Amino acid sequence: MSSTVSNPQGILQQGGYSGHDSRSNITSGSESESINNDEAELVSVCWNQDSSCFAAGTSHGFRIYNCQPFKETFRRELKNGGFKIVEMLFRSNILALVGGGANSQYPSNKVLIWDDHQSRCISEFAFRSEIRAVKLRRDRIVVVLEHKIYVYNFMDLRLLHQIETQANPRGLCCLSHHSNTSVLACPGLHRGEIRVEHFGLNMVQIINAHDSSIACMTLTLDGLLLATASTKGTLIRIFNTMDGTRLQEVRRGVDRADIYSIALSPNVQWLAVSSDKGTVHIFSLRVRVVGEDSYSTENAALLTQQTYSTSLQGLVSPTTGTNPGSSLSFMRGVLPKYFSSEWSYAQFHVSEVTQFFAAFGSNNTVAIIGMDGSFYRCSFDPVNGGEMGQLEYFHFLKTDNRRR
């Protein structure tokens, strides 16, 4: 691995993508040109860390969209080539970019750290193999290759950690985003295994999550809970990252499915799952409720000491809604495990022919973005569940597949 970096001191500015429209060229050396929705094709989509907006990598650059209200707030355009990875850092001026798409002038083995306040690339990391993902938090840059993960300090770009993984073509990796905890989860060295790094505690937890390979995962904002799915795609499991204990298991379905996204609501009361079966499922969680409002410095101090409890007490609690189960669930332990499964509480149907990625909004709403250039915002009933209601639909960018 080799990398070329420049000094990033002072790069974080206030503001960022706050809702104003802006269109410009990404580098002074590239010719800008007028590119409309009919010419720019969608290459990738990615939520920012709080799901308040998302980035769309296109064949001619990237665009930033606000979710509520829905609006394109920013774009940068190129004459030649675009990006397969556009990773935001909340709404700041910093993005991580990796080239991709047809005829991209940027290689897929190089990360560009772009400072939009200065309108320039402030550093870059070049690797010998293709970059699968990039993850950002305010103090770290994480670069994911197929067999290795590199963790850098954001301020001086110093390499802090190197983590070996099983083959990871999906670029699976997730981070906590509270300033008081520093947690990273990624595939382990064996099939179905997840490695959880608690950097602040200098502790590693290995979780044997599934028998099959890992397909998708996500952490809570504090990094204390982990939700996972395997390539089989029938079950989603929630774990305590401190001791690896399984806290809950819910069932998406019976048939195999490719899980595209798993999202946890900020208060950890709900879980959303999207897959190639064309349904976004919402599940009610029985784990303890910890959100930004209830997360305090005092709580964090307790957690980062030895009472960062490895017991289940305080991690499992009742919720307002209950996932439906089989009518034969009273015979659990006698009938196969399928009959005692927890099924989804609410559902929303989308196209089966493209990838969709779900995230939670405010007031029991879910936002869904698709690789067909579609955006949905829908609501669910937290008491009765059932079919979700569509609140908004927008087609934000042209793709090869225009089906809804």
Q: Taking residues 111-133, what's their average pLDDT?
A: 92
pLDDT band for position 19 (cuts 50, 70, 90):
very low
User: What Cα–Cα distance (Å) separates residue 64 from each residue in 21, 23, 91, 147, 392?
Assistant: 10, 11, 10, 30, 18
User: What Cα–Cα distance (Å) separates residue 154 from each residue in 86, 180, 201?
Assistant: 17, 16, 20
How far apart are the C-alpha atoms of 276 and 156, rounded to whole Å? 41
Instruction: Write out the two tokens for 350.
Output: 């989308």
Instruction: Classify 330 as helix, strand or coil.
Output: helix
Which contiguous run of DSSP H or E holds residue 162?
Answer: strand 159-164
Q: What's the whole-model pTM score?
A: 0.82
pLDDT band for position 334 (cuts 50, 70, 90):
very low
pLDDT band for position 330 (cuts 50, 70, 90):
very low
Predicted confidence (pLDDT) per residue in 24-83, tens digit: 444 433 334 445 555 788 999 999 999 999 999 998 899 999 999 999 998 988 777 789
Q: Taking residues 87-114, what's their average pLDDT?
A: 89
First-to-final CA distance of the chain: 42
Q: What pLDDT is stored for residue 9 in this prediction?
A: 44
Predicted confidence (pLDDT) per residue in 152-191, tens digit: 999 999 999 999 999 999 999 999 999 889 999 999 999 9
Q: What pLDDT is stored for residue 340 in this prediction?
A: 56
pLDDT band for position 120 (cuts 50, 70, 90):
confident
Q: What pLDDT is stored for residue 397 in this prediction?
A: 87
Instruction: Write out the two tokens for 86.
Output: 């556009």
String of b and e for 27-37 (b: at least 16 CB within 10 Å)? eeebebeebee
Predicted confidence (pLDDT) per residue in 181-212, tens digit: 999 999 999 999 999 999 999 999 999 999 99
Which pairs count as long-range contacts for 308-314, CB under 8 Å and 24+ apart, including other chains? 308/201, 308/242, 309/242, 310/240, 310/242, 310/243, 310/245, 311/243, 312/240, 312/245, 312/247, 314/288
* Of the candidates 344, 346, 342, 347, the residue with the CA atom closest to the CA atom of residue 325: 342
Sign of CA dihedral 158, 161, 165, 168: negative
**Residue 11 corresponds to which amino acid?**
I
String of b and e for 186-211 (b: at least 16 CB within 10 Å)? bbbeebbbbbbbbbbbeeebebebbe
Other Cβ atoms within 10 Å of 366 Cβ, number: 25
Lowest mean pLDDT among 4-18, 180-194, 214-228: 4-18
Q: What pLDDT is stored for residue 105 in this prediction?
A: 82
Q: What pLDDT is stored for residue 182 in this prediction?
A: 95
Mean of per-residue pLDDT scores for the chain: 82
Lowest mean pLDDT among 34-48, 247-261, 326-340: 326-340
Of 149 and 103, which is predicted with more confidence? 149
Say if residue 308's pLDDT is above 80.
Answer: no
Instruction: Write out the two tokens for 261.
Output: 């996204």
How far apart are the C-alpha atoms of 188 and 12, rounded to whole Å? 33
How far apart are the C-alpha atoms of 110 and 87, rounded to whole Å? 14
pLDDT band for position 309 (cuts 50, 70, 90):
very low
User: For a pLDDT cut of 90, what percent of the chain falls above it?
Assistant: 64
How far apart are the C-alpha atoms of 353 and 373, rounded to whole Å? 12
Q: What pLDDT is stored for residue 320 in this prediction?
A: 54
Predicted confidence (pLDDT) per residue in 259-297, tens digit: 999 999 999 999 999 999 999 999 999 886 443 333 343
